[in-house]
Chain A
C-alpha cells in the first residue's frame, strides 16, 4: 500500500477551487431535490422523523410519548433544536432547508475523509463526485432521515480512526483523536443504533480479516508478524459497550429494536432451513420503475462502482496474499470495504427472509458505497494512468467517462427524487391534495378515509396534522380499498398513478361527492345501514 502524499495535506488554490465547486454542486443537488416538486414531497422515514421531531419540539423531551424514534434521539432532537433556534417549523426544516444545508456537511465530511485516505485532492474530488452521483446515497442523505447525520458522522469517525492510526504522532494528538472518535461513535449510536452497529461490525470484520491476513503472512515468512490489528478489536469492543449502554441504560425506546430479533431469527431459520424465500426484495424493481431497463440505466453507476471496486479490492487483496504489507491506517479502506460488503451479503439473505421491510441491503449499501468509491477511484487512477495505456486511448476513455458522468448526473437526480418520468413510486404531492387533506382534517371526525395505493398522502397527512388535536380521530388508510373505509380521497395524481400501474380505482362513481377542488375529490360511501349515516 502506498503512503499518503504528505504534500497534498497542504491546501492550495486548486484545492480550494475544487472544494468550492464541489459545494456548489452539492448545493445544486440539494436545491434540485427540494424544488423539483416545489417542496411538496414526503416519504415514510421523513414523515416518521418529522413527527418525532415535532414531538420533541412540543413535549420538550427526547422521548415524546408515542412518537419517540426507536433507533436514536439525536436527529429529532437536532431538528427540534434548530426549529427553536431559527423559528422555522420542523416540517419546513425537514423538507426545504436541511436537504440543501445537509449537502454542505456531507461534502465537507466526505472530502475530508477521501483526501485523508486517498492522499490526493484530485482523487478525493473524484471520489466525492462519484459519491454524489450514486443515487441511493443521494436519496438517503437528501430526504429527512437521520442518515443526513449518520453517514457524515460515520465518515468523521473513520477519518478520526485513520488519523489516530497515522504514524508517527505524539501521545497528545493520539489521545485527542481517540476521544473524538468515541464521541463521534456515540453521536452515531444516539442517532441510529442500528447504523452505528453496522460500522462497529465492519470494524470487527476488519479486525478478523486483518488477523487472517497477518496469519497468512506469518505462514509465508515462517515467522511471527507483528499484529497491528488488535486495536480494531478494542475499538469494536469498546463501541459495543457504548452501544449496550445506550440501548439498555440511556435511551429506553431503542430497546424496541430488540423485539424484532425473535422474528428475525425465525424468519432466517425458515429461509435457510426451508429454502423458501419469505420475501422478494427485488419485486419492487418490477413495478417501481417504468421499465426494468430504465431501472438498470438509472443504477448503472452503482453496478459499475460495485464491479470496479470489487476488481480493485481483489487486485489489492492479491498483492496482500503475495506478501504485501498490511498496515494501519492505509489498509482501512480495503478492510472496511470487506466489512460492509459482508454485511450487504448478510442483509441480502435477511431481505429474502423478509426481515425489516425486506430492504436491509439498501440500508447498508451507503456504507459500502463510501468505501467502494475509494477503491473505484484508486482503480480508475490505476487504469487511466497505467503505463500501458496510450494517450489516445486515455483521451477516449476520459471523454467516455465525461459523457457517462452527464448521464449519471441526470440518473442520480431522477432516481433520488423518484421522478414520475421514470418512477412509479411517487413521493411528491400536489398542493390541491394538501388542501383536500386540510379540509378533511377540519371537517371529518371519527372515521376512516382511503387516500391512495400507498403512503404517499398518508405520510403528508401525518406530518401536517399529527400535532393537531383530534388527529387520531381519522384513520387514514392506504392500499387496496378495504370495506371499512367510509371516505375516499381521489386526486388526479392518484388516478394517473393507478393508470400507470394498471390498477383499479375505487368505485366512487355512485357515491356522494362531498368535496372537490378541481384536482382532488372526496367521496363518502352511501350508507347501507342506519349506522352509516
Chain B
C-alpha cells in the first residue's frame, strides 16, 4: 500500500471551530436514530478524550488527526490520515475526519503499534473500506508513516474490503446495508473452512477468495439476505463453496452494540451471542490478536429464516444444484416472536450423479432430514422431539436469492413437504431428561450421515472422527454398497434421550401416543432405547410382533433385566423380580396418531393432546403401567417369566415356578395352582395352555443336508441343511458347524453359522465350502459352542468334488490369441530363432575373418 504525500515539518495545533457543527450534528444524529439504523450509535461505545491535529504539509489545513480515546482498553488511540485534502480543524472527530478518503489507524493500548488499518476510498459511485489486519501472528499491523504517506508493510494486499454501491449512509442518515464483503487470504471470519484448508487454498495475493453480498433491496434497513460464494479455485471434494442466509421473518437488525467510530466496526468482546440479522452486518475485530474475527452477517441461528451451505458453488444465470445443507430452516412455530425458533429442519442433500464415496457416484439423490421441534416452548434452544428421515427425493423447485436460482424446497413449504413425503427409514428421538441445547436441532441418531450416536459430543475428537465405523457404514448401507446391519449402531444414546428407529418405514413419519407408557413413539418403530439419566439404567423398547407398535418394555440396570412388560392380544404380561403379573385390558394400541407438527395449529393441537394424555409414570415402574388401568390382575409370587414371544395365533413364554410359589392376587388365569414347582411352557391361543418344559433339542431334519449344485475344487460351494428344535424351550443363539474331511485325513471345521432354533420350529442353515482338492469328501454337522459340540448327523454327507480345469498347453496355444493361430505363432518363433542363429554365425564369421586379417 503506497499513498504518496509530502514530507514537511509538522505544525500541531488544536481547533475549536467545530463545536457548533458538532452540536448540529448531534441533533441530526439523534433525530435519525429514532427512524432507523444510524451512525449516532457509533459514539456510545467509544470515549473520545482529545483530538489533536497536525498540518504536515503546511498548507494551512490539517492532514492528520490523533484521537485519544477508549474503544477497547481505557487508553487507545486512533490516527486518521487525510487523503482527500478535506480535513478541517475540529475537536470533534466527526467533523475532522470522514469514512470517504481517510486512512484510520487503530492502536489499541496506545502503544504506537497498530492493530488495524482501514483505508477508506471510492469505488465508482460507491464507497469502499480496505482492511489490513495482522498477517504474521505478531499481534500488530506493521506500517511506516512518512509525512502524509503511509506504507503498510504488514502485507502487500488488504485482507478484507467492504463496498457499498452508493455510500455508507442513505440520504436520511440511516445506514445503507447493501454491502459487499471481499475476503483475501486466510481469515478467522471464514470459520466454516478449517485453518489447514484455508492455509492450503487461500492466499493473500490481491485476488479475493470469497465474496459475501448483503442485500437490502428496498433499503428499509431490513436486509433480506446474504450470499457468499467462493472465488478461489478449489479441488474437487466436499468443501463449502457457497453460503446463503435469508431473513424470511424480516427481522430488523439492530446497530452493532459497540461500534468503533465507523458504524460497521465493532470489538469481538462487545458483540454478544446473537442470531443472524440481529445486528447490522459489520466487521468484528479481536484487538488482542489484531485479527478480523467476523465480517458480514454474523450470528447463529435465526427465529424465522434459513441458510444454505453448499458444496456446489453458486453461478449466476443458471439453476444451481445446491447440495449439502440445503437448507437449515428455522420456524417460529409458536408464533411468539421471542427470537427463538421452535422448529428446525436440516436437509442434508446429495444430488444424483455426484461423487459419494469410494469413487462411486450416487444413482439417486439422498436427502437426510433432521426435523426437531420444541414442543414445550422453553425459552432456549432445547428440542423436545426429533425425527430423522432418509429419502431419495429429487428437489426440482427453484428459489431465487439475490437473483441466484437455487434448487431448494421453498421455506414456507418445507415443513409440510417433509411430513407429506414417503421416507425409506426413520429415527425418532425424544428428549426426556437431557439438559443440552443446540442451534441445529437434535443430532443424535442421524439416519445417514455423521452418525455420531451421542448428541452433544463432537463429531471429531482430536481430529479423529468420533465414531468412524458408523460414519463409514451408514451411507454405504443406504446406497446399497453394504448389507451390514445398522441396528448395532443404535444400541446406545446420550443419557436422558429416548430413541427409536424403523429401517422399514417406507411411508410418512407418523407418531403415535401409547396408552401403556403415555409417551410419543414412532409408528412402526422396530426398537428403541431410553438411556435414563443419572445412571438409572435404561429402558429397551421392542416391537416383537413386528407390527406398528412397541409391545415390549424391558428395564435394565447394570446389565441385568429387572423387569419386562409385554403386550399381546389384550394381555399385559409382566415378569418382575420374583413375580409374574398378568392382566387383561381393553385399550387401543394408540390414543392418537399424528405427523410431526408443521404449523402453529398442529403444534398447538399436539401440545394439547400430549397434555391431556400425560401420565407422568416413572419409566422404571413397569407394574404401574399395568395397574394404571384398574383392571383385575393375577399375581403369582415366587415365579419367573422369560422368553416371551409371539406365535402365529397368540404368544408363549417360559414360566419357572419356585418351591412355595402361589397366586397371591386375583384368579388363577394361567392354571398353575395344581402344578408342582418347576419349569413350564405357557402358550396362549384363545386360552392359556401350560405343559412341563422340555429342554431345547436341536436336530437335523433327516435328508436335509446336501450340496447345492456341483462341487468343483477351488470353487465356493453351498452346503445347506434344515435344523429343528424338538424341545419346548427355545435355544439361545447357537453355532452350527460344518465339518469336512477327505478319506484318511483329519477332519476340519470348514464353516460355522449362528442360528436360533425356536421350540417346535425349523430353520435352514447355509455354509460355504471351498474344496481344496478334487476327490471324495465326507461332511457332517454339529451344534453348540467351541467346547461342547453336539453331533447332529448320524449318516455322513458324501460329496464328490470334481477337479477344476487347468490352463494347459493346448488351451494356451489354441484358446489364447488368434483362433487356430498356434502354428503361425510357433512358426514365427522358430523363424526368429533361425534368424538369430544366422546373425550370430555371421557375426562370428566376420570376427574370425578380421582376427585372421
B708–A25 touching, CB < 8 Å: no
A402–B843 touching, CB < 8 Å: no
Chain A, residue nearest B773 (CB): A502
A413–B424 touching, CB < 8 Å: no
Known: A37-B816, A129-B839, A398-B844. A498 touches B358 (CB 8 A): no
Separation of A426 and B479 alpha carbons in the complex (Å): 34
A133 part of interface (Cβ distance < 8 Å)? yes
Q: Is the interface of A mostly helix, strand, loop or mixed?
A: helix
B483–A499 touching, CB < 8 Å: no
Known: A122-B847, A421-B809. A498 touches B714 (CB 8 A): yes
A126–B840 touching, CB < 8 Å: yes
Separation of A29 and B835 alpha carbons in the complex (Å): 11
Separation of A281 and B767 alpha carbons in the complex (Å): 38
0 or 1 for each of B478-505: is its CB under 8 Å from A? (1 = yes):
1111111000000000000000000010
Residues 820 to 853 of chain B near chain A (Cβ within 8 Å)? 821, 824-825, 828-829, 831-833, 835-848, 850-851
What is the minimal beta-carbon distance from A514 to any residue of chain B, in angstroms? 16
Stretch in A14-22, A195-203, A364-372 touching the partner: A14-22
Residues 716 to 770 of chain B near chain A (Cβ within 8 Å)? 716-718, 768, 770
B839–A503 touching, CB < 8 Å: no
A304 part of interface (Cβ distance < 8 Å)? no
B847–A385 touching, CB < 8 Å: yes
Contacts of A406 in B (CB 8 A): 833, 836-837
B807 part of interface (Cβ distance < 8 Å)? yes
Contacts of A533 in B (CB 8 A): 480
Chain A, residue nearest B485 (CB): A529
B818 part of interface (Cβ distance < 8 Å)? yes
Contacts of A532 in B (CB 8 A): 480, 483
B362–A504 touching, CB < 8 Å: no
Stretch in A232-240, A241-249, A442-450 touching the partner: A442-450
Known: A32-B829, A129-B839, A504-B716. A384 touches B847 (CB 8 A): yes
Separation of A92 and B762 alpha carbons in the complex (Å): 61
Separation of A307 and B477 alpha carbons in the complex (Å): 58
Contacts of B832 in A (CB 8 A): 25, 28-29, 32, 409, 413
B805 part of interface (Cβ distance < 8 Å)? yes
> A428's contact among B483, B816, B831, by CB below 8 Å, is which?
B816
Known: A406-B836, A409-B832, A483-B482. A428 touches B768 (CB 8 A): no
A475–B839 touching, CB < 8 Å: no
A531 part of interface (Cβ distance < 8 Å)? yes
B360–A446 touching, CB < 8 Å: yes
Separation of A410 and B831 alpha carbons in the complex (Å): 11
Residues 328 to 381 of chain B near chain A (Cβ within 8 Å)? 353, 358-363
Separation of A125 and B843 alpha carbons in the complex (Å): 6
Separation of A503 and B360 alpha carbons in the complex (Å): 28
Contacts of B361 in A (CB 8 A): 446, 472-473
0 or 1 for each of B806-823: is its CB under 8 Å from A? (1 = yes):
110101110111110100
Known: A28-B832, A32-B832, A384-B847. A500 touches B806 (CB 8 A): yes
Separation of A36 and B361 alpha carbons in the complex (Å): 38
Separation of A137 and B483 alpha carbons in the complex (Å): 48
Interface size, A (range): 35 or more
A122–B842 touching, CB < 8 Å: yes
Separation of A530 and B504 alpha carbons in the complex (Å): 8
> B806's contact among A36, A121, A445, A499, by CB below 8 Å, is which?
A499
B807–A499 touching, CB < 8 Å: yes
What is the minimal beta-carbon distance from B719 to any residue of chain A, in angstroms? 11
Residues 410 to 441 of chain A near chain B (Cβ within 8 Å)? 410, 413, 419-421, 428, 430
A10 part of interface (Cβ distance < 8 Å)? no
Residues 300 to 323 of chain B near chain A (Cβ within 8 Å)? none
Separation of A32 and B821 alpha carbons in the complex (Å): 11
Chain B, residue nearest A498 (CB): B714
Separation of A432 and B816 alpha carbons in the complex (Å): 11
Known: A398-B844, A484-B481, A509-B716. A497 touches B839 (CB 8 A): no
In this complex, the member of B709, B836, B838 whose beta carbon has the largest number of chain A beta carbons within 10 angstroms is: B836
What is the minimal beta-carbon distance from A354 to any residue of chain B, in angstroms? 24
Contacts of B504 in A (CB 8 A): 530
Separation of A40 and B816 alpha carbons in the complex (Å): 9
B717–A509 touching, CB < 8 Å: yes
A35 part of interface (Cβ distance < 8 Å)? yes
0 or 1 for each of A265-287: is its CB under 8 Å from B? (1 = yes):
00000000000000000000000
Contacts of A421 in B (CB 8 A): 809, 812-813
Chain A, residue nearest B824 (CB): A35
Contacts of B424 in A (CB 8 A): 530-531
In this complex, the member of B362, B715, B807 whose beta carbon has the largest number of chain A beta carbons within 10 angstroms is: B807
What is the minimal beta-carbon distance from A300 to any residue of chain B, in angstroms? 15
Separation of A415 and B247 alpha carbons in the complex (Å): 72
B816–A122 touching, CB < 8 Å: no
Contacts of B717 in A (CB 8 A): 509
Contacts of B812 in A (CB 8 A): 419-421
> B836's contact among A37, A129, A385, A483, by CB below 8 Å, is which?
A129
A405–B840 touching, CB < 8 Å: yes
Separation of A432 and B112 alpha carbons in the complex (Å): 81
> A14's contact among B360, B831, B846, by CB below 8 Å, is which?
B846
> A35's contact among B482, B804, B818, by CB below 8 Å, is which?
B818
In this complex, the member of B477, B709, B837 whose beta carbon has the largest number of chain A beta carbons within 10 angstroms is: B837
A448–B817 touching, CB < 8 Å: no
Contacts of B358 in A (CB 8 A): 448, 475, 484
Chain B, residue nearest A446 (CB): B363
Chain B, residue nearest A476 (CB): B359
Contacts of B113 in A (CB 8 A): none
B821–A35 touching, CB < 8 Å: yes
Known: A484-B482, A530-B424. A18 touches B844 (CB 8 A): no
B807–A496 touching, CB < 8 Å: yes
A4 part of interface (Cβ distance < 8 Å)? no
B476 part of interface (Cβ distance < 8 Å)? yes
Separation of A256 and B95 alpha carbons in the complex (Å): 59
> B805's contact among A36, A398, A486, A496, by CB below 8 Å, is which?
A496
Contacts of A121 in B (CB 8 A): 846
B359–A475 touching, CB < 8 Å: yes
- Provide 21 A-B residue pairs closer than 8 Å at the C-beta atoms, listed in order of the A residue: A25-B832, A25-B835, A25-B836, A38-B817, A40-B817, A121-B846, A122-B850, A123-B843, A125-B842, A129-B840, A385-B848, A398-B844, A409-B832, A410-B829, A420-B812, A428-B817, A472-B361, A496-B805, A496-B811, A527-B483, A531-B478
Considering the complex of A and B, which 5 residue pairs feature the smallest CB-CB distances, nearest first? A528-B483, A122-B846, A507-B716, A532-B480, A446-B363
Interface, chain B (partner A; CB < 8 A): 353, 358-363, 424, 476-484, 504, 506, 708-709, 713-718, 768, 770, 772, 804-807, 809, 811-813, 815-819, 821, 824-825, 828-829, 831-833, 835-848, 850-851
Q: A473-B360, A483-B482, A528-B483 are in contact. List 15 more A-B contacts (CB 8 A).
A: A18-B839, A28-B832, A36-B817, A126-B840, A413-B829, A420-B816, A430-B815, A446-B362, A483-B483, A496-B805, A509-B709, A510-B718, A527-B480, A530-B506, A531-B479
